[in-house]
Every structure is written in C-alpha cells, then in structure tokens.
Amino acid sequence: MTASQIHRPGTAEHLLDVRNLKVCFQVSDRAVRAVDGVDFHVKPAECVGVVGESGSGKSTLIRAISRLMPNLRVSELSGDLRFEGRDILGMSERDIRALRRSQGFSMIFQDPLGYLNPTHRVGRQIAEALSPHSKGESDSQRVHSLLEEVGFSDPKSVAHSFPHELSGGMRQRVMIAIALASDPKLLFADEPTTALDATVQLQVLQTLYRIHKERNMAVVIITHDLGVVAELCDRVYVMQTGKVVETAGTVDLFERPKHSYSARLIELSAHRINFRSAGL
Amino acid sequence: MNPQILSLEGVSQIYTSRGVKGLRRVDVRAVDGVDLDIREGETLAIVGESGSGKSTLAKMLLMLNHPTLGQVTYRGLPLKTLGQEERSRYRRQVQAVFQDPASSLNPRMTVEETLGHVANRHNIVAKAELRSFLAAQLAAVGLDPPEQYLGRYPHQLSGGQQQRIAIARAIMLKPKIIIADEPLSSLDVSVQAQILQLMSDLRKTTNVGFVIISHDLGAMQSIADRTAVMYKGRVVEIGDAIYRSPIHPYTRLLLDARLLPNPRGTRIRSPVPRSVVPATSLVMEGGCRFLQRCPHAIEVCAAVDPQLRPMGAGATQVACHRAEELSAAPTPI
C-alpha cells in the first residue's frame, strides 16, 4: 500500500470523495463484481486519470459515481460517495439531475455520434444543455462562445450543422461544448479520444487541457492509453479486475511503478514500439 | 527478394455523392492513383488517418470493391478477368480479418459452426475429422484447451478471443495473404501485444503474408517489413525505414503525434492556438495534396503534384518535392 492510499485528508478538501464503492451485476445466475471496494477522490481543479484494460471496472466506476447506472441487473451498489460533501447515492433523481444541469458534473464519451441527436442541429443540442442563467446573454450568444471555447473558429456555421456533417474530432469538440454548457466543476471523460486519429487526438487533448486550466475545472479521464494520461494528468489510478491496484502522482507512477501490473502496462505501451527488438 | 503476389497499378476508387448543398454530384476520390506491389510472405502496413483511403484499398484487395480506374493483379492476372473457379481460389488465398471481431462473427453461431461453415464451404476437411481439425486450428491461434471454445457463442468470448477466432477462420484456409483492416484497434494494449505476437508467429510457421491497415504507427513499427503512408488517397511514402528516418512531412507529423508514455512530455500541455482550422477534404487540382498542412511548402508544391520516387536509404519512396532537403534534415524523434 502506498503512502497516498493511507493518507486520506478530510472530505472538505475533496470535490469528489468515494469510499469502498462496490458494484455487482447479475449476469444470468451469477453475480459479477465489476467494482470491488474502490476508494477514489478528486480535488478541485485536479486532472485525474483512471487506466486499466477492458473489464477492469473503470467505466463502471464513473457511471456509478455519476449515477448513470441502469438499475437493471445491478444487484449491489454500495459505498460512501460524496460530491462536495453531499451523498450521491442517497440523492433523489431530481437532485442528481439538478447537479448535472448546473455546476455539478458532466460527461463525454468515446463515441460522440452515439450521444448526439442526428436530427437536430448542433447549436440546439448545446442550447438544451445550458445551465439556468441570469438575463443578459442570449442562448445563442452562449452557444457561440462555448463553440469558440472548444476551438471552432467559425461557431455560427458549426452551430447550424448537423452532427453527420462534422468530422470525428469536431463532434468530440461539440460534445465537450455540451458538457461545458452546465458549467461543471467536474468533467468525466470516458475514452474521449480513442476513436480519433493521432493528430486529431493530440489537438482535442490540448483543447481539453486548456479548458481544464482556464476554467479550473476538475477532469477525470478514463483511458486504456497510458500515453494520454502521461502528459495530461496530475494523478493516476490503475485499475485491474474491479480494484485499484495503484494510485500515484503521474511522474511517480511512470518512473517508479510499485505494482507489477502498472509496470507491465507502462512497459507494454512504451516497448510496443520496440516489440521486435524487445524480443517479445 | 520474394516475388510479388498482389499488385496495384494506377488504382483509383471514385465514389460519387451528392454535394453538401444542392443536388450537384461530387466525386470523392477515396483512392487516387495508387501503385503498390505486395510481395509473397511480407508484412506490409498501410497507415494514415481516417479518410486517407486505406480501408478502400483493403476492400479492393479483397475484391469487395472494384477499382474505378486501374487494375489489381494477382500473380500477374487482373482480378477483373478471373473466372468463377479462379475467383473462388482467390478468395481462399486472400483472407480477411476486420476491426471489430464481434460484428464479423455471427452472433447466433457457435465457434464450431462459424469455423465449420467455412471449412465445409471450401471442402478442406472430411466431415468426420471436422471437430479435431477445428480444435487444431483453435490451438494454433492460442486458444487452449480448444474444446472449451468450440461450443461458445461470440458474446461468451472476450475481444481478444474473438479476434483470435477471426484469425483462425482466415488462417485455416492456408491463405497466401491476410488482409487485416485495423485488427488491433478494438483491443486492449496487452491483448494487442498478444495478437501482434500471434501474427508474427503465424508468419514464421505458415509463411503467410499480411497487409495490415492501421492508424497505430507504434504497433506497426513492431511488425511491418514495409510501411506505406497514405494521405488523401495517395501513398506519400513507402519503405522499411519510415519510423527511423521519415522523410515526408506527413509521415513526420504522424510520428510526432504519437503520445508516448512520458510523464514529462509537454505536447499536450504546450500552449496552442485557441482555434483549430479543420482540415478540408477538398482535392485541389494540381499541386501537392498535403500543401495546406505542410510547414515546408514552397511555390512548386502548389503547382505540381509530386509523384513517388526512390529516395534515401533502403527502398524508400517519397512523394515530396523537397524530399532531398528533408531527408538531410535531422529527424524529429
């Protein structure tokens, strides 16, 4: 166990504090423990990475936290989950929706096309997600400034387009704009650039990083690509079969991994490039 | 050098689509005049961004698409002229593995049915020996003990296991070449390493050649004998040294965009211009198609479309007017 795991500062410092989260799915006649006693926290304005392979429970973890878990087949969901000290699991559906709507948390996903309505123009979909605001700025002005914030030089024409008219990278930018529309304090990004080309991935991550800094918004990024977290995140959780096997500052993790699984993941992503010379 | 087995001669694929505004028809040249030789037993990687035409190229090699212009020849025979029997033999000798194994396997067929169907279709084994034959195929792709997998449905397998089944289905016909379209991108890193390992083992044991379409240069560097870099329907650089000494600015850009697991890296954190100009996909008349994104463009680049020509060490070919100067410049990585 590392020092950072034992030391647990008061909840007050944490934007998000999760203790002993357990999630169990009922699959035909047996129970599968997707998340098995995970402790997890995010400080305000921090960028946290969660890495692990498929089935490690990383997506389930943030879906449980953001209460985007279909009740169907969940046989157990327990733990102490707090967002700004408020109990997430005990919240009513209405309260949780209020939290998503304004200054709570937002999510972006791997496949933006699956989350955008193909029949509505982009601008309208961003406007729907806008947090309640005082008079002064019109909805369309706010939509345009959001589109500018995520890197579009011509927000007007983008707002007027349909999702299918945009490229993958542009769609992901639109998703980010929708996520930002509620002025979140925390953004969950589940494999946000996995479907994108390397050059586009770099641009989207640069944009995400800039927004994270400009807004002082905390970001939790879930990925299987260690290259993404290495430069982006302050701290990383490594998950394997539902458990956090290591958590450390990014530089510590990459330069002095303590758990053999983390070491193997890092080695694989670094040496895959020299796979042949490494004699694998 | 091995004899060439598949070759593309001036191949183009033109899709006609309706314009964004109005009814005007717009031609999209997904592949635009590609010459490429694939040699027996070699592993050729084709890399490039989405929309560069690499999957269209794969479809033409698999005879799923016929080129609009130019021709594909197999051992000197143009694919267009193949008779029914020759075509069936071609389909057996040139096999496919796709990106998403879950959707390339029938969800209502067990592994045994899926593989048995192909075996029966091509009459490669007697009915009585089918089961033991299939078991041997599964063992060959590292699914052990094979009996355990024969009765399973695709959803009862992990992504890596599904991809192994897809490879087993391809390899059991003893093909000369396997065309794999993004075979790694839906898999975890550790599973990717296993599949790469499996492919390089199969090369040694069966002498099968691979054409691997991928956008993952890291993985391709570890397995490919030669790599072709495609951009907007063209091969812009091809050779065996493109990772160590890239010449074309686009190859350099691709290599540069790779995120290595270096926590002290500063590419994401470096200040960048706030707005990003989206790359337009319009093909310009004349001139280099990389012009808009090229930091080294000069006058001639706007006027003359560069053709592939031999350059530098090894068998590298580059389509760039400034290849000589760039190959002398220090490499970015």
- Segment B181-219, tens digit of pLDDT: 988 887 777 788 888 988 999 998 888 999 999 988 888
Shortest distance, CA B269 to any CA of chain A (angstroms): 7
Shortest distance, CA B253 to any CA of chain A (angstroms): 8
Look at residue A126 and tell me if it is in a domain.
Answer: yes
Look at residue A211 and tell me if it is in a domain.
Answer: no
Look at residue A256 and tell me if it is in a domain.
Answer: no
Look at residue A88 and tell me if it is in a domain.
Answer: no
Query: What pLDDT does B279 receive?
Result: 47
Q: Are the C-beta atoms of residues A66 and A42 closer than 8 Å to each other? A: no
**CB-based contact, A164 to chain B, within 8 Å:** no
Q: Which stretches within chain A are classed as H helix?
A: 3-6, 58-65, 93-101, 122-128, 139-149, 155-159, 168-180, 198-215, 226-232, 250-255, 260-271
In angstroms and rounded to an integer, the radius of gyration of the C-alpha atoms of chain A is: 19
Average pLDDT over residues B236-255: 91
Tell me: pLDDT of B112 over 70.
yes
Look at residue A143 and tell me if it is in a domain.
Answer: yes
Tell me: pLDDT of B313 over 80.
no
Q: Are the C-beta atoms of residues B79 and B90 closer than 8 Å to each other? A: yes
Query: Is the CB of B50 less than 8 angstroms away from the CB of A197?
Result: yes
Number of structural domains found in chain A: 1
Query: Is the CB of A198 less than 8 angstroms away from the CB of B277?
Result: no
Residue A242 corresponds to which tokens in the numbers above?
A: 């539902």
**CB-based contact, A174 to chain B, within 8 Å:** no
CB-neighbour burial class of residue A10 (10 A; exposed 0-12, middle 13-18, buried 19+):
exposed
| Residues facing residue A105 across a β-bridge | A186
* Residue from B50, B276, B292 whose CB has the most chain A CBs within 10 Å, to mutate: B276
CA atoms in the 13 A half-sphere facing the CB of B117: 9
Rounded to 5 degrees, what angle do the CA atoms A234, A47, B256 make? Answer: 75
Query: What pLDDT does B281 receive?
Result: 45
Least CB–CB distance from A227: residue in B193, B215, B261: B261
Query: What pLDDT does B52 receive?
Result: 87
Look at residue A124 and tell me if it is in a domain.
Answer: yes
Those of residues 115-144 in B touching chain A at CB distance below 8 A are: none
| Residue in A closest to B191 by C-alpha | A53
Which residues make Cβ contacts (< 8 Å) with residue A198, sequence separation at least 6? B49, B215, B217, B254, B257, B258, B259
Least confident of A60-69, B14-23, B46-55, B146-155: B14-23
Q: Are the C-beta atoms of residues B161 and A54 closer than 8 Å to each other? A: no
Say how far apart CA A211 and CA B131 lie, in whole Å: 58
- In this structure, the number of other CB atoms found within 10 A of the CB of residue B298 comes to 13
User: Which position has the token pair 């929706």?
Assistant: A97
Q: Express each pLDDT in B140-191 by its tens digit.
A: 888 888 889 999 999 999 888 999 999 999 999 999 999 999 888 877 777 8
Query: What pLDDT does B106 receive?
Result: 93
Partners of B197 on chain A (C-beta within 8 Å) are 280
Look at residue A28 and tell me if it is in a domain.
Answer: no
User: Which position has the token pair 């496919």?
Assistant: B96
**In degrees to the nearest 10, what's the CA dihedral of B90, B91, B95, B98?**
140
By DSSP bridging, strand A105-108 and strand A243-249 are unpaired
Structural domain of A158: 117-167+174-181
Q: Are the C-beta atoms of residues A88 and A96 closer than 8 Å to each other? A: yes
Partners of B251 on chain A (C-beta within 8 Å) are none
Of the pLDDT bands very low, low, confident and very high (cuts 50, 70, 90), residue B21 is low
Of the pLDDT bands very low, low, confident and very high (cuts 50, 70, 90), residue A221 is very high
User: Which position has the token pair 């091995």?
Assistant: B2
User: Which position has the token pair 């449980």?
Assistant: A64
Look at residue A196 and tell me if it is in a domain.
Answer: no
Of the pLDDT bands very low, low, confident and very high (cuts 50, 70, 90), residue B26 is confident
